[in-house]
Structure 1
Amino acid sequence: MRTSGVLRSSGVWRSAAAATVLAALVAVSGCTIQPAGPPGTSPAATPPSAGASSPAGRSPGDAKPPSSAGQPASEVLWSPGDRGKDVRELQARLREVLWLYEGPTGTYDASTVYAVKGFQGKRGLPRTGTTDSVTWQRLLGMTHEPGKWDLYASGGQPAAKPDPRCMTGRVLCISKTSRTLRWMIDGRTVSTMAVRFGTEYTPTREGVFNVYFKSRHHVSTLYDSPMPYAMFFSGGQAVHYSADFAGTGYYGGSHGCVNVRDEGKIAALFSQVRNGDKVVVYW
């Protein structure tokens, strides 16, 4: 009996020694011992005990709710009332896919809201009327990057710096680069408006001219088309209002005349310009 007691004591001692060595190895490695789970499971698969804390204050097993119909949350990029070049690009791309027929104006107006809603609804997106990142990415994938005159198809572009020949006297200062007309008196800009020129086959002449004839209700004898508020400066070429320019923007062209799309502005200009006033057409 004494011998077996010694053996039992010796076995306990060996077990305690082994546990001590294992604990020392674990401490050196930086690991922790996980309690074994049921057969066939790993420690990580063991469910947390009741009352255990979880990330973001959620109860164990809670999941973050989906944003909408399983779609990821999206950031609102532009909404009604916003202005700027980014809005112009949005409008130009909506024109490409025939959801918008006006502008671009650079202002997120009611027409833009209507177009965005239509585009979203056609593609199964929430019809919010605001442009979020999901709507924008879908539109980008269906359109090409608009060019300068797609962005300013209906005007609104900044006027170019006046030509030095425009700085004295009464001048219609017309830039082909910015497609603008400045009405200037002694170097001061009185008004500015968008203009359109002749096509490749009927170009608008460049140089210095003078207004030699004005005709409020003029009709072209060559093309049988109306030319209201016409101010002739070189042969049959004149500055005049164009309903086609107002309707289609820079997607069309004139037969050589300088078209103005804003009837109110050219009406005011027509009342101020006199025969003999200078006209400068330049790049």
Structure 2
Amino acid sequence: MGDIRRRGVVALGVTALVAPLTLALGTTQAHAVSCTTTAGPYQKQVEKFLGRPVDGKQSSADCKAIQAFQNKHGIRPNIGYAGPVTWGVMDLMLKQKAVGTNPNKAGKCPVNKGRIACVDLTLQLSWIQDGSRLVYGPVPVRTGRDGYETRTGLKKIYWRNIDHVSTIYDVPMPYSQFFDGGQAFHQASLSMWNPPGSHGCVNMTTTDAKKYWSLLKKGDDVYVYGRKPGT
């Protein structure tokens, strides 16, 4: 049963890192990509987000600023075009920031379970609470893409492996805490806003994955709700 479970972990969780890492670390390091001179449909919104002059016109400086943002978060194509994917990432960042320190304001994550890790797929945020008291977070996370959605509902952490490595892809998944089949919290070495998402796991920064490891234990509850944009 243990071997079967580990194969399931690899199939749904580990592969989350394979393609995104290629996207995040590949093309732009090899050579520079030319900027577009065309203004995108979200030009003004993107200019405002980046602190650029808001005129809706694509300048060379605008393009370079947009392209730098795209390269930082692994957005493709990375040609400085203010399109729906780039604006979608920025809009999500603004919505995440607006949550502040009250992520469970709507009361969607249970407050009668004691310590619980909450995952809001709609806002791509996670936090740990104890009753109604916020223990840690909220922090940005990267959940399952279309076709590989992180499953919703109430779950429990059933297996933890601080140094987990895929035996199929030889991909590290540090601080893995599995809560539903092959789906787990774990550290990922890429932007939490890198589209389109994981293959089901809840990716976290190193800092946040370490903190979750120290605060959670086997048997703790996990509640996943909402719907990731684009799924």
TM-score, length of structure 1 as denominator length:
0.48
| Residues 155, 221 of structure 2: 8 Å contact kept | yes
Q: Name 2:87's counterpart in structure 1.
A: 147
For 2:217, the aligned partner's letter is R
Q: Aligned partners of 2:112, 2:47: CA distance in 1, in Å?
A: 34
Which ranges of structure 2 fall in alignment gaps of 5 or more residues?
1-45, 53-61, 74-79, 227-231
Q: Aligned partners of 1:228, 1:218: CA distance in 2, in Å?
A: 6
Q: 1:154 to 1:218 in 2, by over 3 A?
A: farther
Q: Name 1:266's counterpart in structure 2.
A: 209
CA RMSD between the two structures = 3.1
Q: Name 1:205's counterpart in structure 2.
A: 151
Q: Name 1:168's counterpart in structure 2.
A: 113
For 1:216, the aligned partner's letter is I
Q: Name 1:234's counterpart in structure 2.
A: 180
| Residues 140, 204 of structure 2: 8 Å contact kept | yes
Q: Aligned partners of 1:94, 1:241: CA distance in 2, in Å?
A: 31
Q: 1:88 to 1:259 in 2, by over 3 A?
A: same
**Superposition deviation, residue 253 in structure 1:** 1.5
| Residues 163, 173 of structure 1: 8 Å contact kept | no
Q: 1:205 to 1:99 in 2, by over 3 A?
A: closer
**Superposition deviation, residue 222 in structure 1:** 4.7
Which protein is bigger by CA-based radius of gyration? 1
Q: Compare relative contact order (CA 8 Å, sep 6+) and give the higher one, 1 or 2.
A: 2
Q: Name 2:133's counterpart in structure 1.
A: 188
Q: 1:88 to 1:94 in 2, by over 3 A?
A: farther
Using the aligned pairs only, state the percent identity.
28
**Superposition deviation, residue 211 in structure 1:** 0.4
Query: What whole-Å deviation, never above 9, does each CA across 1:8-58 have from its counterpart, x for those lacking one?
Result: xxxxxxxxxxxxxxxxxxxxxxxxxxxxxxxxxxxxxxxxxxxxxxxxxxx
For 1:200, the aligned partner's letter is D
Q: Aligned partners of 1:94, 1:156: CA distance in 2, in Å?
A: 25
| Residues 157, 177 of structure 2: 8 Å contact kept | yes
Q: Name 1:98's counterpart in structure 2.
A: 67
TM-score, length of structure 2 as denominator length:
0.58
Of 200, 208, 218, the match for 2:164: 218
Which ranges of structure 1 fall in alignment gaps of 5 or more residues?
1-84, 104-138
Query: What whole-Å deviation, never above 9, does each CA across 1:54-83 have from its counterpart, x for those lacking one?
Result: xxxxxxxxxxxxxxxxxxxxxxxxxxxxxx
| Residues 153, 251 of structure 1: 8 Å contact kept | no
**Superposition deviation, residue 89 in structure 1:** 4.3
Query: What whole-Å deviation, never above 9, does each CA across 1:102-155 have from its counterpart, x for those lacking one?
Result: 47xxxxxxxxxxxxxxxxxxxxxxxxxxxxxxxxxxx9xx73475342344699
**Superposition deviation, residue 177 in structure 1:** 1.1
SS at 1:243 equivalent: coil
**Superposition deviation, residue 226 in structure 1:** 1.3
